[in-house]
C-alpha cells in the first residue's frame, strides 16, 4: 500500500499514544477529535477508532474498518455499520489482566466470607464463638475446580491465575477441541496454546461440566444464543457450596433464578460486575444478600487500558497496511 490512510480517533488518547499509532507507518494520517463519530466523520476517513455511537455511513463513504475501544459489540447491533461490509474489530484482550484479577479477588472474597465480615464490621460486631460452627469456614481455592464458560482472552488469563492458586480448570469452547489462541492479549499473559484446562466442553455439554465445579466464571459475550444461557437448570446443577462470578454480560444470567437459589441456600455466593438490567434496580434483593458482591461494571477498568488498546490498534494498523487478517474481527453471524 502506497497511499495515505486517514485514521480518525474519537477516543481519549494521549499525544504519546497517538504518536505510537503514527509510528506504525508514514502512510498513516492519524487525527483525534472529541465528540460523536457522526460529527467528526468525513469522506477521507478510512479507519475509525471509537467507543460507541451510531452514525450514517453516507458521512464516510470510504470507511473500511472500525476499531472499537470496547470488547463488546452490542451497541452496534442493528446499526448501519453493522449491516454494512465495513470490518469491525474489538478490544478483546485489553481487559484480560484486570478482569482476571477481579475474578480471583471475587473468589477469594466470597470463599473467605468477606461480605459477611464487612457487614459485621459496619455494626462493630465480633461474631466468633470458638465452641460453635463458624460461618467463616472458607472455600479454599487449592484443589478446587473452576469452570470457565468462555475461553477467550479473559478466560485464559483467569485460568493462568487460577492454576497458580492450585485450582483445576475446566473450560468451554465452541468446538470443544483444544484451541490455540488467535486473538490479542498482553505479552506474557493468558494460555496461548490452550493447555491449562484439564478438559474442554461445548455449551451443550454444560450438564456434564457443572456438577464438578466448585466455582464458575461467566466470560462470554452476549448474543442471541447466549441470552440467559445460565438459568434455573444450570444453577441447579452446581453444588450448593459453589461460587458464581459474572464478568461477561448481565443478560447471560437469569437473575430471578439466581435470587431463588441464593435464598434457598443452594449456592455458596455470587459476584456480579454486570447485571440485567444495568444499573441494577435499587429494589433488587441482590443488594442485601450476605453472600453477594455487586460492583458497577468496573472490572475492566485499568490505568493501563488505553496503552493496551493502542498496542492492539497499532498491530491491527500494521496488518491493515500489509493486507493481513485483523485481530479480533467481529463475526456478524455470531453477533460478536
The strands making up 87-89's β-sheet, listed across from edge to edge, are 28-32, 5-9, 47-50, 65-68, 87-89
Q: How far from 30 is each of 47, 82, 126, CA to CA, in Å?
A: 9, 24, 59
Query: According to the 3-state scheme, what is the secondary structure of 39-95?
Result: HHCCCCCCEEEECCCCCCHHHCCCCCEEEECCCCCHHHCCCCCCCCCCEEECCCCCC
For residue 1, the model assigns a pLDDT of 67
> What are the helix (H) ranges across the chain?
15-22, 37-40, 96-111, 114-122, 153-164, 206-209, 232-237, 255-263, 305-321
Q: How high does pLDDT run on average in the chain?
A: 94
| Residues with catalytic function | 249, 278, 297
CA 302 – CA 305 distance, rounded (Å): 5
Give per-residue pLDDT as tens, 104-157: 999 999 999 999 999 999 999 988 776 667 788 899 999 999 999 999 999 999
Q: How far from 116 is each of 106, 120, 127, 329, CA to CA, in Å?
A: 13, 6, 10, 43
CA 218 – CA 271 distance, rounded (Å): 10
Mean pLDDT calculated for residue range 30-55: 90
* Domains 5-94+304-321 and 96-294 equal at CATH topology level: yes
What residue segments make up the domains of the chain, in order of their start?
5-94+304-321, 96-294
For residue 202, the model assigns a pLDDT of 93
DSSP 311-322: HHHHHHHHHHHT
Cα-flanking dihedrals φ and ψ of residue 259, to 5°? -60, -40
CATH class of 96-294: alpha beta
CATH fold for domain 5-94+304-321: Rossmann fold (3.40.50)
For residue 269, the model assigns a pLDDT of 97
Model pTM? 0.93
Give per-residue pLDDT as tens, 147-179: 999 999 999 999 999 999 999 999 998 765 666
Residue 305 has pLDDT above 60, yes or no: yes
Amino acid at each position: 500500500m502506497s497511499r495515505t490512510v486517514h485514521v480518525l480517533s474519537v477516543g481519549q488518547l494521549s499525544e504519546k499514544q497517538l504518536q505510537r499509532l503514527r509510528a506504525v507507518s508514514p502512510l498513516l494520517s492519524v487525527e483525534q477529535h472529541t465528540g460523536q463519530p457522526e460529527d467528526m466523520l468525513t469522506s477521507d476517513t478510512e479507519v475509525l477508532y471509537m467507543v460507541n455511537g451510531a452514525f450514517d455511513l453516507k458521512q464516510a463513504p470510504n470507511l473500511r474498518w472500525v476499531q472499537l475501544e470496547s470488547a463488546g459489540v452490542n451497541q452496534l447491533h442493528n446499526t448501519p455499520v453493522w449491516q454494512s461490509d465495513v470490518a469491525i474489530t474489538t478490544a478483546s484482550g485489553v481487559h484480560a489482566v484486570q478482569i482476571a484479577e477481579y475474578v480471583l479477588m471475587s473468589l477469594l472474597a466470597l470463599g473467605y466470607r468477606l461480605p459477611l465480615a464487612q457487614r459485621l464490621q459496619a455494626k462493630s460486631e465480633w461474631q466468633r464463638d470458638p465452641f460453635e460452627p463458624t460461618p467463616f469456614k472458607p472455600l479454599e481455592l487449592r484443589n478446587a475446580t473452576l469452570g470457565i464458560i468462555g475461553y477467550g482472552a479473559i478466560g485464559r488469563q483467569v485460568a493462568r491465575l487460577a492454576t497458580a492458586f492450585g485450582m483445576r480448570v475446566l473450560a468451554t469452547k465452541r468446538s470443544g477441541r483444544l484451541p490455540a489462541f488467535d486473538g490479542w492479549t498482553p505479552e506474557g499473559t493468558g494460555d496461548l496454546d490452550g493447555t491449562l484446562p484439564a478438559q474442554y466442553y461445548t455449551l451443550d455439554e454444560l450438564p456434564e461440566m457443572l456438577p464438578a465445579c466448585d466455582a464458575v466464571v461467566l466470560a462470554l459475550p452476549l448474543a442471541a444464543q447466549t441470552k440467559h444461557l445460565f438459568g434455573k437448570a444450570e444453577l441447579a446443577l452446581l453444588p450448593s457450596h459453589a461460587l458464581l462470578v459474572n464478568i461477561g454480560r448481565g443478560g447471560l444470567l437469569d437473575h430471578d433464578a439466581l435470587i431463588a437459589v441464593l435464598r434457598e441456600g443452594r449456592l455458596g455466593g455470587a459476584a456480579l460486575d454486570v447485571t440485567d438490567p444495568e444499573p441494577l434496580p435499587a429494589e433488587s434483593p441482590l443488594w442485601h444478600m450476605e453472600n453477594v458482591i455487586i460492583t458497577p461494571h468496573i472490572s475492566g477498568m485499568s490505568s493501563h487500558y488505553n496503552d493496551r488498546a493502542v498496542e492492539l490498534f497499532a498491530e491491527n494498523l500494521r496488518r491493515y497496511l500489509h493486507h493481513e487478517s485483523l485481530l479480533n474481527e467481529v463475526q456478524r453471524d455470531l453477533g460478536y
